[in-house]
Amino acid sequence: MESMTTWLITICALAAVIIFDLVIAFVRRNKQTSITEAAFWTLFYIGTALAFGALLPQWVSDQGQKEFFAGWLTEYALSVDNIFVFIILLTHLKVQKERQQLVLLLGIILTIAIRGLLIPLGAALISRFSSIFFLFGAFLIYTAYTLAKEKNDEEFKESRVITSLKSRGMSIFSIALIALGLTNLVFSLDSIPAIFGLTKDPYIVTTANIFALMGLRQLYFLLEGLLSRLIFLSKGLSFILAFIGIKMMMEAFHAINIDKIGGLPIPDISLEVSLGVIILSLLITTVASLTATRKDGSAII
């Protein structure tokens, strides 16, 4: 377990970076973010996460380092998928480019708050009920199934909540903020069980989530142009979630001292294997998507 000092130093350092990013967002709330600026800050935050992971064994075990990278990659990949939903949502609601900065700023603060509440809750449930892994695992497998069924050419369907708010005369800005809040809650219900399938250390869960959220605003503006090209992203994420869900259920069986089913041993999936599966899935998904589409996003026949 990490010491209180480690927690305090880490949280203060990460909070300072997040506040710095939020201040920049607030100052530039009425300005558009260029692709160059978005790319710079996205690479900066990815580099920060990699540097943190590289230094992690100085105060956490080598196993913790592997758990961090597996968790951060999974959460970051889920964040990319979430970003695409944000793009579709804000575009459909016709939120002005200049106003999107502020919507995203408030949306990220809301995301951090939601996950800040769900992470301790998830840790408490796992510490008291090891069988909760069956529920988490089943939920991730179901989520993977729904993601796999998604079609990239499906039109955006306005929810009843948004329709109701529009009919009551609420401003587009307010509706966009509420819509982002609701989608953030749904996404958090996926991401929190997913990372607990890779590590049970609250410190690793917290830092991996925060680093995955860093630069989310800039990533939004960077990925706008790739929306139509990463056509297999949902399929890749569905495979990762299904894999983690199955892994969690295997661990749940071991936790209740069931090591065989039908005479066949239940394997232990190492973190090295999990990390390899996640990286390979993301690589194949990205390469296949970019290969299958032209630069304009149309499919190659």
> At what angle are helices 233-255 and 172-196 packed, to 10 degrees?
40
In a domain, 300, yes or no: no
pLDDT tens for each residue of the chain, 301 residues long: 778 899 999 989 988 888 887 787 777 767 777 778 888 888 999 999 999 999 998 988 888 899 999 999 988 888 877 777 777 777 777 777 667 777 777 777 787 788 888 888 887 877 777 677 888 888 889 888 887 886 655 555 555 666 777 777 778 778 787 777 777 777 777 788 888 888 888 899 999 988 988 877 788 888 776 666 778 888 888 898 899 889 888 888 887 888 888 888 888 888 788 888 888 998 998 899 888 876 555 555 4
Closest of 11, 25, 53 to residue 275, by C-alpha:
53
What sign has the CA pseudo-torsion 16, 25, 53, 124? positive
Kind and range of the H or E run holding 264: strand 264-265
Give the C-alpha distances (Å, rounded to integers) separating 39 from 26, 36, 81, 219, 224.
19, 5, 18, 8, 12
In a domain, 297, yes or no: no
Closest of 293, 38, 49 to residue 152, by C-alpha:
293
Give the pairing type, strands 260-261 and 264-265. antiparallel
Helices (H), ranges, 150-232: 160-167, 172-196, 202-213, 216-223
In a domain, 298, yes or no: no
Q: In the beta sheet, which residues pair with residue 261?
A: 264
Closest of 198, 85, 180 to residue 140, by C-alpha:
198
In a domain, 66, yes or no: yes
In a domain, 108, yes or no: yes
Tokens of 195: 């990372």
φ, ψ (nearest 5 deg) of residue 245: -60, -45
In a domain, 79, yes or no: yes
d(CA 280, CA 216): 23
For the chain, the helix, strand and coil percentages under 3-state DSSP, each to the nearest 5? 75, 0, 20
Side-chain-facing half-sphere of 187: CA atoms under 13 Å: 29
φ, ψ (nearest 5 deg) of residue 264: -100, 130
Tokens of 64: 């913790």
In a domain, 230, yes or no: yes
Q: Tell me the residue range of the domain where 238 lies.
A: 4-292
What is the total count of domains within the chain? 1
Per-residue pLDDT at 160: 66
Q: What is the DSSP string of 95-134?
A: --HHHHHHHHHHHHHHHHHHHHHHHHHHHHHHHH-TTHHH
In a domain, 301, yes or no: no
